[in-house]
């Protein structure tokens, strides 16, 4: 089965830039869109990136998404980190082989 692997945790200082990776286990991650969700403690997830690199209205341009074909991975980059960015981040994509949606295991971002 298709799986998405994320680092368990990352940390960075306010004002800096952090990148969270999401690596596909097989096939090509470019075949289907990747989404990124932010989940603050005690809250429901919200979308920060959809269709690989699109930002919903209201999401600051400090958030950006990209795809790297050679490494079969997607990345979420957050620049100018703020303490409010501290949250869990999940990537998601579609497994065309079985019609299932797949989430990564989540990455806890600490801004300290």
Partner 1 sequence: QVTLKESGPVLVKPTETLTLTCTVSGFSLSNARVGVSWIRQPPGKALEWLAHIFSNDEESYSTSLKSRLTISKDTSKSQVVLTMTNMDPVDTATYYCARIKALAGNDYWGQGTLVTVSS
Which residues are near partner 1 by CB under 8 A? 1, 32-33, 35, 37, 44-47, 50-51, 56, 90, 92, 94, 98-106
Residue 17 or 97 having the CB closest to partner 1: 97
The residue behind tokens 């949250």 is 87
Residue 42 or 70 having the CB closest to partner 1: 42
How far apart (Å, rounded) are the C-alpha atoms in residues 82 and 25?
A: 32
Residue 70 or 98 having the CB closest to partner 1: 98
CA distances (Å), 14 to each of 75, 78, 85, 93, 111, in order? 20, 11, 9, 29, 6
The minimum distance between CB 25 and partner 1, in angstroms, equals 15
């Amino acid at each position: 089965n298709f799986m998405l692997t994320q680092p368990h945790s990352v940390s960075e200082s306010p004002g800096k830039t952090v990148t969270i990776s999401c690596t596909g286990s097989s096939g090509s991650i470019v075949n289907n869109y990747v989404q990124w969700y932010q989940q603050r403690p005690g809250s429901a997830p919200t979308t920060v990136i959809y269709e690989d690199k699109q930002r919903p209205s209201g999401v600051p341009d400090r958030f950006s998404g990209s795809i790297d074909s050679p490494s079969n991975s997607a990345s979420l980059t957050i620049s100018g980190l703020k303490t409010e960015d501290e949250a869990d981040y999940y990537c998601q994509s579609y497994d065309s082989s079985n019609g299932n949606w797949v989430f990564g295991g989540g990455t806890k971002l600490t801004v300290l």
